């Protein structure tokens, strides 16, 4: 809590200071503060105090002697209370403006090679429209968002993600305008009109994040409004008490009392908390479409994870070929090559590479005339076809359906591969079952630790995989996951999301394909990859620029931290306010002997006691700004442990600190001769 504001962001130049100051002063506009009832009342109190200072004499109030410095001190403290609240929001929004600025700098007018009616022409990116096809060649910039329909290549996406390592993309992957293809050549179908690109949406998301409120923020705002209104009524009613009517400083006295009673601490920090939440997510290279998505991440009970790329490394490569009995290896290698020669997926490319590594040569005449049959999540096989001749590779169950029987020898090999966590793909042709390709995909080394952390927070992980029951069981056991869905299809993911939501659980899932879109839209947190299809990105409420599915777990941890930060500051604020009541009220009524037993700090000057409380009230806000923006330290644990920690640290701290601080301020002021 003692860290300076600058330490949150490192060095800040003079221009940044000036920007913060200007935006903070602009926020004094009552129109801006009307959405924050606590600070709105504080500003009204500030304006009334100015009026009393200027025109108080007309109402019989003393504006001479000791009361003038008293009025000035009160005005200064009220001004600083509003200033520090606006400053907290200004710092948080400054981060949003930095993000927006960097995104706008990425948007550059580029030229693309339009392919139309068999000819090509150069066209600016602003004139490209959805459905047009462009070709991007080596070292050229992708003109706007699209999806690869032909070719493959490595892309430099550092302008978007900050990651210098190139990303290999194939048919079906999406690409973002402004990125560069390092090698290869692709044809792209445009998926967004000008103003609707991914960068445009990101800018809108970040800019919108500074203004929108989440349901929890709205609920907390209503609570704060209710408390403020209650204390406003109580303080107003004190005008009828003779003790205040006989005081020359009665109006100012009541103003200070009101400001000390209403929950100014959390009221001042609440806007900054909401903006900081979006900013913290963006620091992970994740764009949240709304504050509600971030809030939902903190409430997640169930997380649905794909096996490939999330729990395992994801780059499945052909590891070994198993030829069926009675066949020659060379014939099988050729069939493997033919089944994958048009397959632009990473698995297909790895099969071709493996065949070449075995020094097996496939003649040109052997590959002519074949038609490509692409893989789908429904059929679970791909390959080639020429007349009545076909060569397919796919999951064992899919191949057994094609051939109409189960080859026991090949089936035993598949079971052995699955038992050690590998993926088996059976190759078949019109002449029979040819053999098996084993693909290796290893567990991510830290996944078990992440899964254990999720469990410690009572979050249930569920693994979905297109692999068979045996492989799924092995991988789930290795990762520490108790529940899994094998032979999973897109509709199975959707059904699983629905099933969990009927149990009143908050569900998160990750996906990148068009078929994942329904489940992403149904989930409370839909986490899509930037490399995924446009449909997936539109359906999700969070998008990962780094295309790392495991980051969903980081976002959930971050969501928990954001909720805990808000809870910690609210706990501190409420405890802090309760303590102030027990400090201030006895001091006000110190003249009544029967109340002296609760005046434990021995205050005998009500005005000085209120001034001391107002000083504490004002300067606790800037001390908490770094904590509200940085967030409290988070360690994955159960709800009871988190609640206990909140109460012990922030609850007890909020109760004890005002007694110590206000008492110290009071006796310091009294010691230096302040007496009004």
Catalytic one among 145, 173, 200, 306?
306
Contact indicator for 448, 553 with CB cutoff of 8 Å: no
* 3-class DSSP string for 20-83: HHHHHHHCCCHHHHCCCHHHHHHHHHHHHHHHHHHHHHHHCCCCCCCHHHHHHHHHHHHHHHHH
- 301 in catalytic set: no
How far apart CA 135 and CA 128 sit, in angstroms, is: 12
Nearest partner of 339 among 379, 367, 312, judged by Cα = 367
Query: For tokens 């499945």, what's the residue?
Result: 316
**Beta strand extents in 395-474 (DSSP E only):** 423-429, 432-440, 460-464
Three-state DSSP at 482 gives coil
Nearest partner of 164 among 546, 426, 518, 495, judged by Cα = 546
How far apart CA 644 and CA 667 sit, in angstroms, is: 34
The DSSP call for residue 365 is: G
Q: Beta 525-529 vs 542-544: how paired, if at all? A: parallel
Give φ, ψ of 419 to 5 degrees: -65, -20
Any idea what the Cα angle at residue 528 is, between residues 523 and 530, rounded to 5°?
165
For 532-552, give the DSSP string: S-HHHHHH-SEEETT--TTHH
Helices (H) and strands (E) in the chain, counts: 25, 20
**Beta strand extents in 330-482 (DSSP E only):** 371-373, 381-386, 389-394, 423-429, 432-440, 460-464
Reported residue count of the chain is 676
Contact indicator for 374, 427 with CB cutoff of 8 Å: no
How far apart CA 28 and CA 573 sit, in angstroms, is: 23
Nearest partner of 199 among 443, 541, 543, 593, judged by Cα = 543
The DSSP call for residue 367 is: S
Contact indicator for 437, 351 with CB cutoff of 8 Å: yes
Separation in Å, CA 601 to CA 69, 254, 580, 593, 605: 25, 21, 12, 15, 11
* Residues with active-site annotation: 306
């Amino acid at each position: 809590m003692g860290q300076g504001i600058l330490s949150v962001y490192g060095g800040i130049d003079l221009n940044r200071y000036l920007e913060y100051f200007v935006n903070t002063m602009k926020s004094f506009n009552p129109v801006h503060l009307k959405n924050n009832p606590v600070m709105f009342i504080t500003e009204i109190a500030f304006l009334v105090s100015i009026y009393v200072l200027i025109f108080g004499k007309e109402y019989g109030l003393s504006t001479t002697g000791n009361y003038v410095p008293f009025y000035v001190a009160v005005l200064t403290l009220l001004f600083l209370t509003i200033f520090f609240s606006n400053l907290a929001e200004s710092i948080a929004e400054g981060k949003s403006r930095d993000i927006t600025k960097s995104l706008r700098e990425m948007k550059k007018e580029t030229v693309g090679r339009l392919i139309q009616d068999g000819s090509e022409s150069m066209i600016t990116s602003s004139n490209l429209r959805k459905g047009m096809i462009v070709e991007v060649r080596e070292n050229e910039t992708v003109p706007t968002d699209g999806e690869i329909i032909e070719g493959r290549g490595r892309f430099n996406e550092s302008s978007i993600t900050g990651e210098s390592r190139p990303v290999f993309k194939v048919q079906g992957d999406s690409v973002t305008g402004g990125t560069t293809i390092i090698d290869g050549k692709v044809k792209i179908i445009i998926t967004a009109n000008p103003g609707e690109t991914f960068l445009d949406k990101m800018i809108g998301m970040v800019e919108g994040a500074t203004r929108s409120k989440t349901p929890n923020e709205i609920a907390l705002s209503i609570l704060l409004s209710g408390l403020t209104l209650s204390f406003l009524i109580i303080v107003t009613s004190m005008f009828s008490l003779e003790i205040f009517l006989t005081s020359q400083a009665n109006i100012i006295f009541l103003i200070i009392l009101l400001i000390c009673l209403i929950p100014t601490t959390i009221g001042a920090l609440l806007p900054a908390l909401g903006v900081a939440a979006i900013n913290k997510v963006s620091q992970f290279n994740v764009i949240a479409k709304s504050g509600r998505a971030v809030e939902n991440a903190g409430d997640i009970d169930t997380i649905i994870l794909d096996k490939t790329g999330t729990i395992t490394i994801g780059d499945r490569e052909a590891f070994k070929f198993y030829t069926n009995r009675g066949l020659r290896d060379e014939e099988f290698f050729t069939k493997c090559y033919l089944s994958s020669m048009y397959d632009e997926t990473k698995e297909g490319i790895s099969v071709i590479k493996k065949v070449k590594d075995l020094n097996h040569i496939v003649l040109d005449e052997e590959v002519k005339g074949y038609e490509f049959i692409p893989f789908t999540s429904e059929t679970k096989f791909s390959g080639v076809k020429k007349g009545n001749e076909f060569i397919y590779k796919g999951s064992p169950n899919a191949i057994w359906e094609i051939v109409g029987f189960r080859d026991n020898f090949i089936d035993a090999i598949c079971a052995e591969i699955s038992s050690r966590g590998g993926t088996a793909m059976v190759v078949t042709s019109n002449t029979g079952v040819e053999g098996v390709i084993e693909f290796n995909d290893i567990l991510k080394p830290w996944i078990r630790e992440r899964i254990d952390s999720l469990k410690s927070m009572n979050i249930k992980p569920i693994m979905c995989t297109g692999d068979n029951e045996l492989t799924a069981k092995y991988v789930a056991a290795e990762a520490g996951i108790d529940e899994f869905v094998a032979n999973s299809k897109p509709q199975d993911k959707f059904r699983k999301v629905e099933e969990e939501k009927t149990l009143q659980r908050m569900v998160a899932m990750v996906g990148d394909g068009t078929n994942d879109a329904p489940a992403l839209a149904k989930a409370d947190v839909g986490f899509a990859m930037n490399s995924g299809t446009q449909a997936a990105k539109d359906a999700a409420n969070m998008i990962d620029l780094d295309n790392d599915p495991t980051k969903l777990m980081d976002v959930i941890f971050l969501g928990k931290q954001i909720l805990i930060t808000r809870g910690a500051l609210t706990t501190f604020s409420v405890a802090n306010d309760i303590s102030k009541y027990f400090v201030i009220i006895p001091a006000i009524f110190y003249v009544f002997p029967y109340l002296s037993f609760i005046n434990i700090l021995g205050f005998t000057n009500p005005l000085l006691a209120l001034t001391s409380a107002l000083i504490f009230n004002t300067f606790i806000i800037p001390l908490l700004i770094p904590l509200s923006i940085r967030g409290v330290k988070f360690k994955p644990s159960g709800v009871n442990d988190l609640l206990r920690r909140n109460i012990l640290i922030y609850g007890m701290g909020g109760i004890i600190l005002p007694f110590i601080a206000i008492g110290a301020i009071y006796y310091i002021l009294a010691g230096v001769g302040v007496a009004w």
